[in-house]
Amino acid sequence: MQRTRTSLLLVSLMLLSVASSGCMGLAMQREVMEGMREEPREDIVPVEPIVQAHIFSQNECVLPGSEDSNQETDCYFNESMIMIDETVSKMLLDFSVSFEWSATLGEVLGNNTDELRFVEIKLLKPNGDLCWDYLATSSVGQMSLELRSESDCTVSIGNTSGFSNGEWLLNVRARGYALAAPIDTLSFEDEFRVSLWVTKKCVVFPEIHDEGECTFSSELE
C-alpha cells in the first residue's frame, strides 16, 4: 500500500514537472516571437488620382456666335471631389493640353482665342474659395503643381498649417475641336488631361501587409 502511494506521488510530481515545463516553454516561445515581430512603421503613399481627360470629336463643339449654336462658351464641364483630412501631407496636380495649330490661329486672330479653344482648371477649397486656377488657350506640355499646405495656394487664405478638412473640388471647363480632313496632316483632335492626387500617411504592419501594402492612418482612427 505504501509502495502504491509512493508511486502515485512520483507520477504526480512528474506530470506537474512536465506541465510546468510546457507552460514555461510556451512563455519563452511567446517572448521569442514577440521579439522577432517587427514594429509597425509609418509611411507616406500616393492615393489613386482623380483624372479628367477628354478628346474632342468633330462637331462636338460649335463656334460661339454661330446661328446654330445654343451651347454655352464651354461645351465641356466636369467637377470632381477629393476628400482631404489631417493625414494628407501633399496635393499634386499635373496637366497637359494639345491644341493643334494654336500658334497659327493665334497669329490670324490676334491671339484672341480664349473663347474658341481653352481649358480652364480650378481647385476650390471646402469653403468655396479659390486655391489655384489656370487658363490654357494653346498647347501645354506636361506641367505639374505641388501643394504642401494651403499656404502654397495662389490666393491669400491666412492659414499656413496644412489643409482644411473637407471636400476639395477640381473644376475643369473646356472648348475644343476636331477635324477629319482628307489629308491626314490637316486632321487633328484637341485634347487635355488633368490629374489630381494626394499623399497620405499610412501604417505598415509587417505581419499582415505584403510589400507595397499599408493601412491609411485615417482608417485607424
Residue 205 sits in a domain of what CATH number?
2.60.120.380
Q: At 25, which helix (H) or strand (E)?
A: helix 2-36
Same domain, 78 and 158: yes
Q: What is the pLDDT of residue 127?
A: 92
Same domain, 32 and 117: no
Residue 136 lies in domain = 41-220
Same domain, 109 and 196: yes
Same domain, 71 and 117: yes
Same domain, 163 and 65: yes
Kindly report the backbone phi and psi dihedral angles of residue 210, in degrees, each rounded to the nearest multiple of 5, phi listed first.
-85, 175
Same domain, 62 and 17: no
Cα–Cα distance between 221 and 209 in angstroms, integer? 19
Please state the domain count of the chain.
Answer: 2
Cα–Cα distance between 152 and 90 in angstroms, integer? 11
Cα–Cα distance between 71 and 65 in angstroms, integer? 9
Cα–Cα distance between 19 and 4 in angstroms, integer? 22
* Cβ atoms of 145 and 197 closer than 8 Å: no
3-state secondary structure at position 55:
strand
Specify burial of residue 205 (Cβ count, 10 A radius: 0-12, 13-18, 19+).
middle
Same domain, 12 and 79: no
Same domain, 100 and 15: no
Same domain, 25 and 102: no
What is the grid cell recorded at 139?
A: 498647347
* Cβ atoms of 196 and 83 closer than 8 Å: no
What is the grid cell recorded at 65?
A: 456666335
Same domain, 4 and 51: no
What's 101's DSSP letter? T
3-state secondary structure at position 26:
helix
Same domain, 156 and 49: yes
* Cβ atoms of 117 and 175 closer than 8 Å: yes
- Report the amino acid identity of residue 148: R
pLDDT in tens, the chain (221 residues): 544 554 454 445 445 544 555 555 555 555 545 555 677 777 777 888 999 999 999 888 877 666 555 555 668 999 999 998 888 888 899 999 998 877 666 555 554 556 678 999 999 999 999 999 999 988 888 888 888 888 887 543 333 336 888 999 999 999 998 888 888 777 889 999 999 988 888 888 877 767 777 777 766 76
Same domain, 84 and 179: yes
Cα–Cα distance between 169 and 146 in angstroms, integer? 16
